[in-house]
Amino acid sequence: MELNTLRGIRAGDPQLLSDKHRVHSAAHGLSSVLQMLLSYQDMLSRAEKDLVWHSVDFLMSQEQNCNWPAELGAIIERENELVHWCHGAPGVAYLFAKAYLINKKPQYLDTCIRSGELVWQKGLLKKGPGICHGVAGSAYVFLLLYRLTGNSKYLYRAQRQAIIFPSSHCSEVHRP
C-alpha cells in the first residue's frame, strides 16, 4: 500500500521508503504517487491525508535550485542535471500545482514557478518531441503555469517550444 511506505517520511526516516518512493520523479516515483493520492484525497482518512500532505512538504524540502534529484539524497550536478518530465522539475511541478489548487498555499505555486523558470533557462531538450524527456514535456509546464497564473508570458514560452516541432531539431528521437 502506497500510504504505508510514506510512513517512513512521517517517522523522519526516509530510508524506510520503498525503492519506488526513493525516486522523486514523475515517471517512476514519489511525486506522481502523491499527485494521485491528492487527486483522490476524499477517499482518505484524516490521518492518511495528514500523511500525504506531510510527504508533499517533505518532497518540497528536497528541492535543489529549482530541481529535484532523480533519487532521494542525491546531489544534483548542475552540468549533468536532468530537467525532464520523467526526471526533474518539469514532472514534479504537477504535484505542487495540484497541491496549490487544493489548499492555495503560495509556496506550492512558488515552487511551480521556480520549476518553470529552470525549464526555460535550460532551453530546448535535444531528445525529440515527446513528453517524457522531450520538447512537449517542457512545453506542458508552461501551459500548466499559464492555467495557474493567467500570465501570458507562459503561453509565449509554450509557443516558443511548440514552434520547434516541424524543424530538424526534433529529428533525433527515442533517446532517453
Binding site for Zn ion (CB under 5 A): 86, 132-133
Residue 109 CA to residue 95 CA, distance in Å, equals 10
> Are 79 and 27 a contacting pair, CB within 8 Å?
no
In the chain, the largest separation of any two C-alpha atoms, in whole Å, equals 52
Looking at beta carbons only, is 14 or 88 nearer to Zn ion? 88
Looking at beta carbons only, is 21 or 87 nearer to Zn ion? 87
> Are 165 and 119 a contacting pair, CB within 8 Å?
no
Looking at beta carbons only, is 153 or 174 nearer to Zn ion? 174
Looking at beta carbons only, is 14 or 130 nearer to Zn ion? 130
Looking at beta carbons only, is 53 or 85 nearer to Zn ion? 85
Minimum distance from CB of 146 to Zn ion (Å)? 23
Residue of this chain nearest to Zn ion (CB atom): 86
Please report, to the nearest 10 degrees, the dihedral formed by the alpha carbons of residues 20, 132, 147, 40 taken in order: -30
Minimum distance from CB of 78 to Zn ion (Å)? 20
Q: What does the block give as the cell for 48?
A: 492518511
Minimum distance from CB of 64 to Zn ion (Å)? 19
> Are 119 and 89 a contacting pair, CB within 8 Å?
yes
Minimum distance from CB of 79 to Zn ion (Å)? 19
Minimum distance from CB of 135 to Zn ion (Å)? 12
Phi, psi values for residue 114, rounded to 5°: -60, -40
Handedness of CA 176, 76, 111, 4 (dihedral sign): positive
